[in-house]
Amino acid sequence: MGYYRQNIKKEKENGEHLHENRAICLHAFSDLSHICPATFVYLLKECYVCGTCKATPKFRVLQQQVSRALHNAPQPGPFTFLIHCLYVVPLLGHQYTEGFSHMLLSSLRHCKSQNFSPDDFYRAKPLALQLILDILACVVGHEERILIKLLEAFDVNLEDIGDAIGCFDMTKGRLDRVKAYIEQYVIDFIESQSYMTAVTLLERFSIQLSGESLLLKMIESNQYKAAEKWATFMGKPLICLLVQKYLDMKMLKNAYDIIKRNNLMEEFPDVYHMYKESLLKKLAEKGLWDLAELKTNKDQHLVEYLVYLAMEAGYSEKVDELCERYCLEGFSKKKEILIHLLENYPVTDETSSRPRYLDLKNFILDDIVWVDEVNRLLTATEYIEGCKIVGIDCEWKPNYEKGSKLNKVSIMQIASENHAFIFDLIKLYEDEPKALDSCLRRILCSSNTLKLGYNLQCDLHQLSHSYGDLECFRSYEMLLDIQKLFKERNGGLSGLAEKILGAGLNKTRRNSNWEQRPLSQNQIEYAALDAAVLVHIFHHVRDQPQSGDKEEHCKVEWKSHIVSRMNNMRRMNGS
């Protein structure tokens, strides 16, 4: 019993000690009149070390604590107190210096805007200037961003630096001496490729160096933000030089942004359309045709170029749609369009080699059935339940705005070797949610049908998010993700089809509007092909001739990837 009493007494003493330490800490923050900067910084570090949150939340809490503490009579005043703290912080070690310095400077700026004390601020400024000189001379170990923030916080100018180094008479000769003093540090920053710091100092103190050579050094080092800042400071000739360098490097967006920002359309009249054409091509390659159309801003030249891209991609309905919507007279016939556009946009080596795509006819599909009412739903379910293998895929309308809510899954396509069914999920869910839930559960939970997909579990997650009150997307059996059978996963399903079957999938309609009704015939065929190709890839892998033990290994390999999830529990199915 004595042992336990001794332990209880020890724990009580430890608790009192911890409570005492906490009381001392709280008292220190609530009354800074007798707390020196070194003690204050040490307490901040201890609070940070003992905190149980992640780094960012801990710093946020400490930031609030520092801001509150600065109202509690620091001596001789909050600005002077903070500068003294910034002298102490590097003694904590490199792992604390950067974060604590930024936190203290943020508190300084907050204090300046909320509780400005002119007398203390002007008393603190000479001390801040000395700290700036000590950082430049590497006497105090702060990073360059702290130096820049100090210059900004105290609005340091050339005369202030002159006062700090003892040049009180600001005649032209003395002013040149101060510039030369700063320039020696600027040159050191340039030699160490700290171009942004160098440019900031040159700009703040209006120091002129050889503009072109410095700009070229920045470009060679890929320091584009510093190069733009330097060119803007030096004026129009250097800005034009930078634009030309960007054009030479085919950095059209950078060039266009500078031209727009500095109103240089007359000097570079062709860059606008060059940049927009490049943007349209990238969007077209991703299948974002609707977004690409928005980016044309109804510019005739750009609309024509988009028509050209749609023709190159074999997206004939988009060609017809654009020609009709924008009344492209003289372009009514596709042949005339092609002749006109090829005259304006010559075919390059890049566009002359057309990719080879799979055709739906290659897969001998007897029929594609559109399922949007209960009788067809029941018929399709009975047929699919009788299949040994089916491929499954989904489509939904893309979101063009960042952060916007994802659109509902619009259709689910399920294909066997000879048939494809396209389920109109939006309509079926509105009209027959119970029947839809029951039928899809029968399909997805059938242990007799192997369901193939390409990243299908991601699709099931999206389906569950779209139709949260349906149970059918929460459980499944006999699911095989084709993607997991191959180590090489670049290029998506199209790349895999090209590798296995010798031709890829034309993805131009991938990001079309899947909520429009009726879907175009090309959309229907695209959707059916995405599901059907899974079955043919699987057959190719399964039936590929092997010899000896390799055949058995191949069978075991793909079977080991079959997964099931029943009652929210996932298990590996080796049968």
- Preceding omega of 355 cis (within 30 degrees of 0): no
Helical residues (DSSP H) of 331-466, grouped into ranges: 334-344, 349-352, 374-385, 425-431, 433-444, 456-466
Read off the pLDDT of residues 500-553 as tens digits, 9 standing for 90 and up: 888 888 777 888 889 999 998 889 999 999 999 999 999 887 776 554 444 444
Does residue 351 register a pLDDT over 50?
Answer: no
Output 415 or 61, whichever has higher pLDDT: 415
Read off the pLDDT of residues 423-478 as tens digits, 9 standing for 90 and up: 999 999 999 999 999 999 999 999 999 999 998 878 888 999 999 899 999 899 99
What is the 3 state secondary structure string of 279-307?
HHHHHHHCCCHHHHHHHHCCCHHHHHHHH
State how far the alpha carbon of 422 is from the alpha carbons of 88, 428, 432, 531, in Å. 69, 11, 16, 10
Instruction: Work out the percent of the chain whose per-residue pLDDT is above 90.
Output: 45
Q: Which of 182-191, 202-211, 326-335, 399-408 has the lowest mean pLDDT?
A: 326-335
Residue pair 378/439 in contact (Cβ under 8 Å)? The answer is yes
- Residues whose CB falls within 8 Å of the CB of residue 223, separated by 6 or more in sequence, listed in order: 193, 195, 196
State how far the alpha carbon of 47 is from the alpha carbons of 15, 303, 458, 465, in Å. 17, 61, 43, 42
Output 353 or 318, whichever has higher pLDDT: 318
The per-residue pLDDT for 371 is 97
The per-residue pLDDT for 8 is 37
Highest mean pLDDT among 17-31, 94-108, 244-258: 244-258
Q: Which of 133-137, 270-274, 400-404 has the lowest mean pLDDT?
A: 400-404
The per-residue pLDDT for 18 is 38
What is the pLDDT of the chain when averaged over all its residues?
83
Does residue 203 register a pLDDT over 80?
Answer: yes
Cα(304)–Cα(575) distance, integer angstroms: 56
Residue pair 393/547 in contact (Cβ under 8 Å)? The answer is no
Residue pair 573/478 in contact (Cβ under 8 Å)? The answer is yes
Phi and psi, residue 174, nearest 5°: -70, -35
Cα(124)–Cα(103) distance, integer angstroms: 18
What value does the CA radius of gyration of the chain take, rounded to a whole number of Å?
35
The per-residue pLDDT for 24 is 41
The per-residue pLDDT for 2 is 43
Query: Residue 335 — very low, low, confident or very high, per pLDDT cuts 50/70/90?
Result: very low
Cα(497)–Cα(482) distance, integer angstroms: 11
The per-residue pLDDT for 16 is 39
The per-residue pLDDT for 341 is 56
Query: Residue 484 — very low, low, confident or very high, per pLDDT cuts 50/70/90?
Result: confident
Query: Residue 391 — very low, low, confident or very high, per pLDDT cuts 50/70/90?
Result: very high
What is 505-527 written as a DSSP string?
Answer: ---TTTTS-TTSSSPPHHHHHHH
Nearest to 144 by CA among 181, 198, 94, 92: 198
The per-residue pLDDT for 365 is 67
Phi and psi, residue 563, nearest 5°: -125, 155
What's the mean pLDDT in 204-213?
87
* Beta strand segments in 185-272, E: none
The per-residue pLDDT for 446 is 94
The per-residue pLDDT for 574 is 41
Phi and psi, residue 414, nearest 5°: -125, 125
Phi and psi, residue 390, nearest 5°: -140, 155
Helical residues (DSSP H) of 386-518, grouped into ranges: 425-431, 433-444, 456-466, 492-501
Read off the pLDDT of residues 145-201 as tens digits, 9 standing for 90 and up: 999 999 999 999 988 898 888 876 666 677 888 899 999 999 999 999 999 999 999
Query: Residue 15 — very low, low, confident or very high, per pLDDT cuts 50/70/90?
Result: very low
Read off the pLDDT of residues 215-274 as tens digits, 9 standing for 90 and up: 999 999 999 999 999 999 999 999 999 999 999 999 999 999 999 999 999 999 999 999
Does residue 569 register a pLDDT over 70?
Answer: no
Instruction: For the domain covering 360-572, report its CATH number.
Output: 3.30.420.10
Read off the pLDDT of residues 37-86 as tens digits, 9 standing for 90 and up: 898 888 888 888 887 778 888 888 888 888 888 877 788 888 999 999 99
Output 297 or 335, whichever has higher pLDDT: 297
The per-residue pLDDT for 88 is 93
Cα(419)–Cα(363) distance, integer angstroms: 10
